[in-house]
């Protein structure tokens, strides 16, 4: 070989990255860890769809619409007990609250400022007639929904179904599950009942959900968000006799 001949450079061999020994159920472990972290940091804010006085919906991004078209990724039952009469000019948070998937086994959050009972099923406030013809405890549904065209990467949003709408929601769920197999397999239309004095939601199936697999992949995240314990405001301390309440 000539002294001036170039010397061949040996090729660089990329070493294969070693894969750690992950447990078979690592997805389940990560989901459980995410749920535990969610409970430590409290519920996020700004993801609630709000209902206006004119019965239109305000989305978290600022958009407003009289009709919602959503894919329901999950829902839970929500019980809330408020002290005193409702005042639209001075809305206060509940003093006792529970979230759950099974109505019969629900219990108030331990951090509830004034829990009314050890469980919801036997609680005095959860009995008919404790608030006129209804219940002192507000039995509601909390839905996690996705925009139909953003099921894979769009934000999860929450929608509260008030006690006047829960019967219609429960009937709708039963109908969809019977005919379609699951809520995520349909696009749901949500409106306010025009004849009701207060915002009372109504539901109907618009069409089959072509991309339901995208919503399916986000079910665990939806459930984690739905079951996250909220931030409770401290209960007011009654003033001592002879003292005036601070203004």
Per-residue pLDDT, 151: 97
Task: Count other C-beta atoms under 10 Å from residue 176's C-beta.
Answer: 20
Distance set, CA 6 to CA 10, 11, 33 (Å): 12, 15, 58
DSSP 180: H
The pairing of strands 68-81 and 96-100 is antiparallel
Residue 55 has pLDDT above 60, yes or no: yes
Neighbours of 102 (CB within 10 A): 8
42 Rama class: left (phi>0) / alpha (psi -120 to 50) / beta: left
Q: Is the pLDDT of residue 50 over 50?
A: yes
The pLDDT of residue 89: 75
In whole angstroms, what is the distance from residue 144 CA to residue 225 CA? 8
User: For residue 221, which of 152, 149, 161 has the smallest C-alpha distance?
Assistant: 152
Rg (CA), the chain: 25
At residue 45, the pLDDT reads: 53
Paired residues of 139 in beta bridges: 79
Q: What is the mean pLDDT of residues 11-33?
A: 53
**Residue 31 pLDDT level (bands cut at 50, 70, 90):** low
Whether 152 shows a pLDDT value over 80: the answer reads yes
pLDDT, position 84: 85
- What is the domain partition of the chain in residue ranges? 47-226
Neighbours of 3 (CB within 10 A): 4
Q: Which two tokens stand for residue 123?
A: 């609680």
SS3 83: coil
pLDDT of 35:
52
Q: What is the pLDDT of residues 79-131, one digit of tens each?
A: 999 998 877 677 788 999 999 999 999 999 999 999 999 999 999 999 999 99
Q: Is the pLDDT of residue 36 over 90?
A: no
Can you tell me whether residue 97 is helix, strand or coil? strand
pLDDT at 156: 96
Mean pLDDT across 186-195: 96
Q: Which two tokens stand for residue 195?
A: 């004849």
Q: What is the pLDDT of residue 90?
A: 79
Bigger pLDDT: 29 vs 141: 141
- Distance CA(126)–CA(122), nearest Å, equals 7
Mean per-residue pLDDT over the chain, rounded? 84
Three-state secondary structure call for residue 34: helix
Instruction: pLDDT band for 25, please (50, 70, 90 cuts).
Output: low
User: What does the block give as tokens for 223?
Assistant: 């459930």
C-alpha span between 95 and 117 (Å, rounded) = 12
């Amino acid at each position: 070989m000539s002294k001036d001949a170039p010397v061949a450079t040996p090729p660089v061999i990329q070493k294969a990255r070693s894969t750690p020994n992950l447990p078979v159920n690592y997805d389940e472990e990560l989901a459980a860890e995410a749920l535990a972290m969610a409970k430590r940091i409290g519920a996020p804010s700004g993801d609630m769809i709000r209902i206006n006085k004119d019965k239109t919906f305000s989305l978290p991004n600022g958009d407003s619409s009289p009709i919602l078209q959503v894919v329901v990724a999950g829902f839970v039952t929500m019980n809330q007990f408020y002290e005193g009469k409702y005042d639209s000019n001075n809305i206060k948070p509940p003093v006792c609250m529970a979230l759950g998937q099974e109505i019969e086994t629900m219990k108030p959050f331990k951090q509830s400022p004034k829990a009314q009972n050890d469980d919801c099923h036997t609680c005095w406030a959860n009995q008919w007639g404790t608030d006129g013809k209804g219940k002192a405890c507000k039995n509601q549904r909390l839905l996690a929904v996705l925009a139909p065209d953003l099921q894979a990467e769009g934000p999860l949003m929450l929608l509260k179904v008030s006690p006047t709408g829960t019967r219609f929601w429960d009937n709708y769920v039963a109908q969809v599950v019977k005919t379609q197999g699951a809520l995520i397999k349909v696009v749901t239309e949500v409106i306010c009942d025009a004849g009701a004095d207060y915002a009372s939601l109504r539901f109907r199936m618009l069409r089959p959900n072509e991309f339901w697999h995208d919503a399916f992949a986000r079910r665990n995240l939806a459930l984690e968000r739905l079951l996250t314990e909220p931030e409770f405001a401290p209960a007011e301390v009654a003033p001592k006799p002879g003292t005036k309440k601070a203004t």
